[in-house]
A and B are shown apart, each in its own frame.
Chain A
Amino acid sequence: MSLGRLEGGQKVTGTARYTSDIELPGQLYAGILRSPHAHARVKRVDTSGVWNSPGVQAVLAHGDTEVRWYAENAPLLAEHARFAGDEIAALAATSEENVLSALRAFRVDYERLPPVPDIEAAKAGNVLLHGDKPDNRLAQPEVYERGDVAAGFAAADVIVEAVYTTPAALHNALEPHGCNAWWDGPCLNLWVSTQGIFSVRDMVAEKLGLPQNRVRVHAEHVGGGFGAKQVAWKQTVLAALLARRCGRPVKLMLDRPAENLAVGNRNATRQHVRLGARRDGRLCAIDVRAELAYGAYAVAGEGIIVTGCYETLYRCDNVRTEQTAYYTTTGPAVAFRAPGYVEGSFGLEQAMDELARRLNLDPFELRARNYAETDQKTSKPYSSPEALQRCCRTAQDTFEWNKRPKSRPGGNRKRGRGMAASIWLAGSANPPAYAEAVLLPDAGLSVITGGQDIGTGIRTSLAQIAADALLMDASRVHVAIGDTVTELRCPTSAGSATLPTLGPAVLSAARALRDRILRAAADYLETGSEPLTLEAGKVSAGPGKSVTLKKLAAACLPGSLRGSGSCERSEQNVATRTFAAQCVEVEVDMDTGELSVLEVVCAPDCGNIVNRKLADSQVLGGVIQGLGFAVSEGRVLDPHHSVMMNANLEEYLIPTVCDAPLIKHAVVGLPDTAGNELGIKGLGEPPMIAVAPAIANAVFDATGLRLHDLPLTPKRILDAIAARGSSR
């Protein structure tokens, strides 16, 4: 069944209210003063001009709050600015215009310090971002080892080796981060654009020293998150502090530059990759050293594993991986749609392509010869051991990999095709999740749960699951989400976990309600032991003995027909992972370096599909985001000032509709029932992971150019052509 997105009409007509649309009586607006310097000591913040600016109601600077932030326990408002965009002060005023004027009235004395723009500068260690972190390392390198890598390489017939780099990428959700904060007596209400109402609730309560039951977080519609909105950022607490000072509601939405500078990014990586294989293609050694430019601070709870795919995607007995994260004077990194795996796969899957060519093997065949049915890190079997095989076959068939003729366009244009595979460590349940299902006196069904919709359409999928369980029409179901006061805690919308966690919780709530309805119907119909059936809005106990849900609900105590459900465990005996395979065709104009992606076939493994339309949307969105990462996106950082030059949507080039190729969702549809009887896994992240390497492999196929650095811009392609030839 493909129920249309329940809130789709509201969204396309502009009536869906996002955080920035919430206006309250007495509303104030807030803004943040950010450091223009990447590294500086804040000697003095002069606010006298600010207070003379019209409409200013409250000002906060370093010293006005004890709150500390990030894993480094840095002050909420910096006295030591560590990236251009670091928060220095905040204010609230009576209009957005007054906020902008007042922000210009701050006078700040900065003592500029040398910036640490990249991994090289960080490793040099001349300037330490945090005094207690030698060599600007977040921690000791994370090393993983199995087998004997040296022996593996010694036994190898073929070795491929290269360095791959990926740039910092910005989430740039269309709706920026922001919130509206107001105090109702001792209780703080927050309307937040977030991926995790409970994570924000808990964090704000902790930071402000409030009991959790005095903080209520709402999120009705969220205009995208992609990982950057899975934690509460500073502005949430700043808005709450300003609202308390003013005794009025305070709205603080970030502008586009702030969105690019200060609330997360996919960190830049450098990966030194070495693969060794026997003549028959079997991998005998994998070695990778990954270095990450992590930014100025660590966001607590973030685990970005660039080496993850090297450790698990292919069967190999001898593996060594090493990952080191360095502090740099750039905005802090945070999860971004399959964090680590998107970056890592760019290196691994190009190295595999190189290996296939060296061995004269079809790239699918090389992968088949190194197929892993177990998670080699935990030795547990995969919940769907055949999933990647199925993905590969489905992608191959849909793309007609073996039959497709090599097309030859005119002029100096060349076409090529490439494939890549991926694994993602998530996509299973992330418990707990709780849900309630209530049959109302008018026989409508309310499903209440504490998740949030970041644009995936989760309300629709949950309505479908509940309606199916009660054999009723989905149009009678209303799904309420996005309010912590329900205390129906659900996970943050991350790790492709929402549907596989909330889906089973809603299913069990609907079943509990069904049982309650049947018991009530048994009393109402005064049946003995006859079996009761619930279908099409009525309960029957045999011919002539039935009651409609409407009649039954009216006869019961209002609100008594209810069921609670939960998802409190995840499968422990198997490793639940999500896989994908992608095939692409590209065209490269050798005269101008222009790269056109013509077609992408994406075959992701997500278990059963609940709603085909919404699943297709995830595939389209993931592929397009992967395309941007591959061809046009990337933070441009001035090397001397460590300032982001393209912190706007004019210069940070996300794909337009003209850039989007023909995208085919090749449905795999392999149920994975290890975690839940619905057989579902998540789909948010897998479609993005293998896009960039598949494109790079296709570029090689077309041009013979192996491009090691993203994004694949005309400059990169022309530079590579020039480096190969004699010109310049």
Chain B
Amino acid sequence: MNPLSYSRLRSSNEIRRYMDGRSRPLAGGTDLLPLIKTGIQEIGHLIDLKASDLPAGIARTNEGVSIGALTTLEEIKDNDLLQAEYTLLAEAAGLTATRQIRNRATLGGNLLQRPRCWYFRNPDFHCWLKGGDRCPAEAGCNSKHAIFQTSPCKAVHPSDLAGCLLALNATVVLWGSAGSRRLPIGDFLAPPFNMRRTETVIKSDELLTQVQLPPRSGWRSTYLKVMERKAWAFALAGLAAMVKSNAGRLADLRLVATGVANIPWRLGVIEQELKNTEGTAADIDRAFNKMARQAEPLAENAYKLDLLHGLLKKALAQLLRH
């Protein structure tokens, strides 16, 4: 382990002084600390935010609901307001990691975590995402990797919550030396490319401070996740599904798949195809097959398409049953 300094700061102004690009903010640390210990991430200084006056907690606002970036996943899982109106988000939090980790891990850290790809996490592989020339997963062990290709990196985004926030069309608030800016989550999350080998557009002097959810009355939602064991695993694939129905028809729907691309993957084709249908099995199959043409599975992961198809059927059956 390389030498590491640490400060625990209270005031936002103090934190702002430290945000010079060489320091890294530390919240729950459930991802950052393992990255540092394995040498994947080289950090000189950590700024602990846990005792700071940065926003934490969940509150209703004029524009919907605001969640502080320091809110833990366990708080999100247990929150009455989220359970009632943003069901999928509370469900996704409950399906993430374990209670011990959820009590520590924060929303901000969850959105900024790095991919769990076993090549990226192995210090002996200098993969493309770490600045290397190529992605070893492309011709290697890729059963857990992307089926929609947007980047030389074949890893998938690990967050369950990110998919739900994209379905909700949430906004993230970034706060840095140049002031704060608001970005739709769909712009915040972006596939890595040659000049930016990360999964978000956050700058090194910025902090993610808040996530804002627009009002979602009249929608029903769920998040379904498939893992290789019943708990404490990342998604092979997940589906964040929201529907608004009217007289037996799907008046509107938003569908986002997780575990299938570098970023949560909006299933726009399926949304369009299913809009104003009754969501019958035939409707679902037709819509899914049209979308599936966009997929480019790797050697070991064609099953993820079947999985997504299955999740779509389950989610709509569940949401239309009411």
A residues in contact (CB < 8 Å) with B? 36, 84, 97, 100-101, 104, 411-412, 589-594, 596, 631-632, 636-641, 643, 645-646, 650-651, 653, 655-659, 713-715, 718-719, 721-722, 727-728
Contact = CB atoms under 8 A, between A and B. Distances in A.
B139 A101 contact: no
Nearest to A645: B118
Contact of B229 (A100, A412, A632, A722): A632
Given A36-B124, A658-B231, A650 B116 contact: yes
Nearest to B234: A650
Given A592-B311, A636-B143, 9 more contacts: A412-B313, A591-B311, A593-B310, A631-B229, A640-B140, A645-B141, A714-B236, A714-B303, A718-B310
Interface in B280-308: 300-303, 305-307
B317 interface: yes
Interface in B188-232: 226, 228-232
A718 B307 contact: yes
A86 to B, nearest CB: 13
B35 to A, nearest CB: 12
B233 interface: yes
Interface string B232-272: 11001000000000000000000000000000000000000
A655 B124 contact: no
B311 A640 contact: no
Contacts of A631: 229
B307 A592 contact: yes
B1 A653 contact: no
A631 to B, nearest CB: 8
Given A101-B1, A638-B136, A715-B236, A653 B229 contact: yes
A645 B119 contact: yes
| 10 closest A-B pairs by CB | A591-B310, A658-B230, A36-B124, A645-B118, A718-B303, A658-B231, A715-B303, A718-B306, A592-B310, A659-B230
Contacts of B125: 643
Contacts of B10: none
Q: Which of A590, A632, A645, A650 has the most CB of B within 10 A?
A: A645
9 contacts: A104-B39, A412-B310, A593-B310, A632-B229, A639-B140, A643-B122, A646-B118, A728-B302, A728-B306
B307 A593 contact: yes
| Chain B interface, DSSP helix/strand/loop, else mixed | loop
Contacts of B1: 97, 100-101
Contacts of A104: 39
A719 B301 CA distance: 9
B100 interface: no
A656 B118 contact: no
A474 B217 CA distance: 66
B314 interface: yes
Contacts of A36: 124
B2 interface: yes
Most A CB contacts (10 A, CB to CB) among B2, B228, B305 go to B228
B287 to A, nearest CB: 15
Contacts of A651: 116, 118
Contact of A653 (B228, B305, B311, B314): B228
Contacts of B122: 643, 645
Contact of B306 (A639, A713, A721): A721
B313 A591 contact: yes
Contacts of A658: 229-231
B216 to A, nearest CB: 26
Given A97-B1, A592-B310, A721-B306, A659 B229 contact: yes
A104 B314 CA distance: 49
Interface residues of B, number: 35
Prevailing SS type, chain A contact patch: loop
A593 B226 contact: yes
A37 to B, nearest CB: 8
A447 B220 CA distance: 66
A590 B309 CA distance: 11
A724 to B, nearest CB: 12
B284 to A, nearest CB: 11
Contact of B143 (A632, A641, A715, A727): A715
Name the residue among A591, A639, A646, A658 with the largest chain B CB count within 10 angstroms.
A591
Contact of B226 (A590, A594, A657, A727): A594
Contacts of A592: 226, 307, 310-311, 314
B140 A714 contact: no
A714 B227 CA distance: 8
Contacts of B301: 715
A384 B310 CA distance: 50
A636 B228 CA distance: 14
Nearest to A721: B306
Contacts of B2: 101
Interface centre among B116, B139, B231, B310 (most CB of A within 10 A): B310
Contacts of A719: 302-303
A429 to B, nearest CB: 38
B103 to A, nearest CB: 17
Contacts of B303: 593, 714-715, 718-719, 722
A448 to B, nearest CB: 40
A722 to B, nearest CB: 6
Contacts of A643: 122, 124-125
Nearest to A627: B229
Interface in B121-146: 122, 124-125, 136, 139-141, 143
A714 B230 contact: no
B31 to A, nearest CB: 11
A433 B64 CA distance: 73
Nearest to A720: B303
Given A592-B226, A713-B228, A638 B311 contact: no
A209 B303 CA distance: 56
Nearest to A725: B306
A721 B307 CA distance: 11
Nearest to B226: A592
Contact of A656 (B140, B230, B307): B230
Given A411-B317, A591-B313, A728-B302, A714 B307 contact: yes
B314 A591 contact: yes
B303 to A, nearest CB: 4
A407 B209 CA distance: 50
Contacts of B300: 715
B30 to A, nearest CB: 11
Contacts of A714: 226, 228, 236, 303, 307
A589 B311 CA distance: 11
A296 B305 CA distance: 38
Nearest to A651: B118
A653 B317 CA distance: 30
Nearest to B313: A591
A240 B300 CA distance: 45
Contacts of B119: 645
Nearest to A596: B230
A639 B139 CA distance: 9
Contacts of B233: 653
Interface in B46-76: none
Contacts of A640: 136, 139-140
A641 B314 CA distance: 39
Q: Which of B118, B229, B230, B317 has the largest number of chain A CB atoms within 10 A?
A: B229
A659 B228 CA distance: 10
A36 B311 CA distance: 39
A650 B2 CA distance: 24
Contacts of A655: 229
A656 B95 CA distance: 14
Nearest to B310: A591
A637 B303 CA distance: 20
Contacts of A721: 306
Nearest to B317: A411
Contacts of A639: 140-141
A378 to B, nearest CB: 42
B21 to A, nearest CB: 24
Nearest to B232: A656
A631 B228 CA distance: 8
